Amino acid sequence: MPPGERIADVDAVPDDSSLLITVADRESGEEREAILVRAGDGVAAWFNYCQHWRDVNLDTGDGAVLRDGELVCKRHGATFERESGECTFGPCEGAVLDELPVELADGGVFLDADGYEFVRVGASEGDADDDVHKSTESRIGF
Ligand code: FES
C-alpha cells in the first residue's frame, strides 16, 4: 500500500532539472515549496531554499539548475548533491538541504511526512510579505 499522498508520477520528475511542488504544514496551514529531483534510481525531495540564504529559492519556477549532476544555487553558485542534499562547494559548504521525506511506489512519488500535506504541483501562492519576513530572519552567518 502506498505510504501517503501521491505527489506526482516518477516520470514527471525531469532528469536535468526539478519539479516544483507545494506542501502545507498540517498545524499552521503554512505553505512551503519543495523540489523533486532525480537521485540515483529514485527521487529526492528538498525544501526549496538554499542553505546560504534561506529566502533564495533553488527553483524559481522554471526548474532548478543542475550542473555536472549537482543542484546549483543561482545566487552565489553553491552546489548541492542531489542524493544527499549536501553542499559540496560555495558559501554554505558542508550544510545540508532540508529534506521532505518521500517514497516511491506504483510509479509515483508519495509524501511520507506526517506533518505535511500535499497541496499542488507548482509554486506556493503565499504573499510577498512572507518573503520579506523570511529574509529578515534567515540571513544569519556566512
Ligand atoms: S544564496 Fe545560495 S549560495 Fe548564496
Is 12 part of a structural domain of the chain? yes
- Predicted TM-score of the model (pTM): 0.88
Is 79 part of a structural domain of the chain? yes
Domain range holding 48?
6-122
CATH of the domain at 41: 2.102.10.10
Is 130 part of a structural domain of the chain? no
The single-letter DSSP state of residue 46 is E
Read off the pLDDT band of 4 (50, 70, 90). confident
Q: Are 55 and 64 in contact (CB under 8 A)?
A: no
Is 18 part of a structural domain of the chain? yes
Atom of ligand 1 nearest to the CA of 73: 2
pLDDT in tens, 14-31: 999 999 999 999 999 999
> Residue with the nearest Cα to atom 3 of ligand 1?
76
Distance of CA 73 to the CA centre of its chain: 12
Overall number of domains in the chain: 1
Query: What's the 56 CA to ligand 1 centre distance in angstroms?
Result: 7
Q: Are 24 and 32 in contact (CB under 8 A)?
A: yes
Query: What's the 74 CA to ligand 1 centre distance in angstroms?
Result: 7
Residue 69 neighbours by CB under 8 Å, 6+ apart? 82
